[in-house]
Amino acid sequence: MKNKLQIIGALLVALSCFSLVSAQDATIRIIPSDDAPTISRHIYGHFAEHLGRCIYDGLYVGEKSNIPNTEGVRNDIINALKELKIPNLRWPGGCFADTYHWKDGVGPQSERPTIVNTWWGNVTEDNSFGTHNFLNLCEELGAEPYLAGNVGSGEVQELADWVQYVNFDGISPMSDWRKENGRDKPWGVKYWGVGNEAWGCGGNMRVEYYADIYRKYATFMSDAGLEGGLYKIASGASNDDYHWTEVLMRDIPHNLLQGVALHHYSVIDWNAKGPSVGFSEEQYFKTMEQAWLMEELVTKHVEIMDKYDPKGKVDLVVDEWGGWYDVMEDTNPGFLYQQNTMRDAMIAGMTLNIFHNHARRVKMANLAQVVNVLQAVILTEGEKMILTPTYHVMKMYNVHQDAQLIPIELATPDYAYNDEKLPAVNASASKDAEGKVHISLVNIDANKSNTISVDVSALKLKGFTAEILTSKTLEDHNTFESPEKIQPEKFKKFKLKKGILEVELPPFSVVVLEGN
């Protein structure tokens, strides 16, 4: 009898466990709305700072290089970025922006002065890559340039002259100088950052002081005949500095302000960031915790913006985001060179989903950074180039660019580590101009698959195709010896029946489904 009771007890425990597992399956309800916002393509922006090997020996190798190039910029990188459909590119910083004097980077290269990059490694740069190089690159890419102005060590006239140099089509000292330097027609630069991280490397300012400085600089930045005018972006908050956003929205007239920035990196501990390869599950979990924090930060900063701007005329611009770890061994600590693993794919997928779901206010964002720095989409070594897992996620996701958001309701199981828990599943959906529906799903759980049931009955779709990005281990990454270890593959572990789409998501995976 005792043995029978033990067997029954064991069966009950097993059934209970099975019940719990079943209860943990995620569910998504699709809620189409004609009033839903458009997911701006500018959410998919990138960032190229004069930092480490991002510009020199990254994007720019010079016209005399044996590496195939266009005006000194690597052709393989140009082609890769075109495939990503990058909508905008931010330059020259970052912290570097507030020490950069743009006039040093125009005119004959032999006459340009050198500069010491005091922020990043104290290396000497020759200013061979300047305004013309950058803006011509953006034209080649079909991307909008986003120029970060020097407010920290620069002067109002310097920034006003830069605006006139790149934008004014009439007769003026700056437009005449541009023509002397080989460019007849202006580029028409719309996006301008008025300083960077004014609370830190941009001047260690109090927000009340910076708000007045911003008003002054923005006043003298002429639209210069640019159709639609300039789009001016204030140096915004770091992480949860909600007071910073409050003061900017309260004290800057909104006719001078089109965007407010926000910076947030997925960093475990600024004093002990951990390795980019060889990390533990604990370090992975804490990184995911910081990535998920973006949801809370955007929500709370938007609440403040809504308070002062209920009509939503000022945008939230998350112009620095991504994972930040210790530099790779035997590399310059000031160059911020790190590897890019499946952990970074998780950060990219979930962050972009968060931006999509806040598309009413988040109109622009810039991944840090484009080549060889932090969460780069591209890494180079001499003539070799590799595409990272982050690159592949952003390419899979670019189907959402300028599509209409489809609001969703998501119930997700937890990803548990020790006594801590995070939502395991993250998602967003959109409908493009051709009527195709795209659903992006991320499972951050390091160990467990999660089945997701998506009620798509309201969309009346005939069928789906899908791609997946995953690998055997979280630490997997592409190398110069094995450049295609991680890349998207066709995905078939889903079924559509009576309006319910059931998807089985493997651990640490990103899936994009297309329905029509």
Q: Are residues 413 and 390 part of one domain?
A: no
> In this model, does residue 225 exceed pLDDT 90?
no
- Mark whether 127 and 76 lie in a shared domain: yes
Q: Which of 401, 432, 466 is the last residue of a domain?
A: 401
Looking at the predicted structure, is the pLDDT value of residue 5 above 60?
no
Residues 147 and 205 in one domain: yes
Last residue of a domain, one of 358, 384, 401: 401
DSSP secondary structure code for residue 484 in this structure: T
461 in a structural domain: yes
Side-chain-side CA neighbours of 383 within 13 Å: the count stands at 5
Reference 258, options 284, 236, 240, 237; nearest CA is: 236
Mean pLDDT of 223-233: 91
197 is catalytic: yes
Inside any domain, residue 372: yes
User: Do 389 and 430 sit in the same domain of this protein?
Assistant: no
Residue 421, domain extent: 24-35+406-515
pLDDT value at residue 11: 36
Most confident of 1-5, 222-226, 239-243: 239-243
Decide the pairing of beta strands 115-117 and 384-387.
unpaired
Share of the chain above pLDDT 70, in %: 95
From the number of C-beta atoms within 10 Å of its C-beta (0-12, 13-18, 19+), residue 46 rates as buried
Q: What is the pLDDT of residue 24?
A: 52
Q: Is residue 207 part of a domain?
A: yes
Given this model, what pLDDT does residue 224 score?
80
**Residue 138: which CATH number?**
3.20.20.80
Assign residue 494 the CATH number of its domain.
Answer: 2.60.40.1180
Q: Does 82 share its domain with 217?
A: yes
| pLDDT tens track for 34-70 | 999 999 999 999 999 999 999 999 999 999 999 999 9
Give the residue from 401, 436, 464 where a domain finishes.
401
Side-chain half-sphere of 461: how many Cα atoms within 13 Å?
27
212 and 295 together in one domain: yes
Q: Is 372 in the same domain as 490?
A: no
Report the C-alpha gap between 478 and 484 in whole angstroms: 6
pTM: 0.93
User: Do 127 and 208 reside in the same domain of the chain?
Assistant: yes
Catalytic residue among 144, 295, 320, 467: 320
- What's the pLDDT score for residue 25? 87
| 19 pLDDT above the threshold of 90 | no
Confirm whether 320 is a catalytic residue.
yes
Strands 425-431, 437-443: pairing is antiparallel
In a domain, 9, yes or no: no
Using only the alpha carbons of the chain, give its radius of gyration.
24
Are 379 and 452 in a shared domain?
no
- Is pLDDT at 236 greater than 90 in this prediction? yes
Asked if pLDDT for residue 407 goes beyond 60, the answer is yes
Write down the pLDDT at residue 6.
Answer: 44
In a domain, 4, yes or no: no
pLDDT in tens, 293-345: 999 999 999 999 999 999 999 999 999 999 999 999 999 999 999 999 999 99
Q: Summarize pLDDT for 445-478 with one digit per residue, the tens.
A: 999 999 999 999 999 898 999 999 999 999 999 9
Q: Which amino acid is at 257?
A: L
Does residue 370 share a domain with residue 419? no
Residue 5 falls inside a structural domain: no
- Residue 301 located in a structural domain: yes
Contact 466, 513 (CB under 8 A): yes
Q: What is the DSSP string of 103-142?
A: GGGSS-GGGPPPEEETTTTTEEE---S-HHHHHHHHHHHT
Residue 433 sits in the same domain as residue 386: no
Query: Residue 313 in 3-state DSSP?
Result: coil
Q: Is 342 domain-assigned?
A: yes
Q: Which two tokens stand for residue 505?
A: 């998501």
Confidence at residue 333, expressed as pLDDT on a 0 to 100 scale: 95
| Catalytic residue chosen out of the listed positions 49, 197, 295, 467 | 197
Please tell me the total count of domains within the chain: 2
- Secondary structure (3-state) at 156: helix
Residues 53 and 154 in one domain: yes
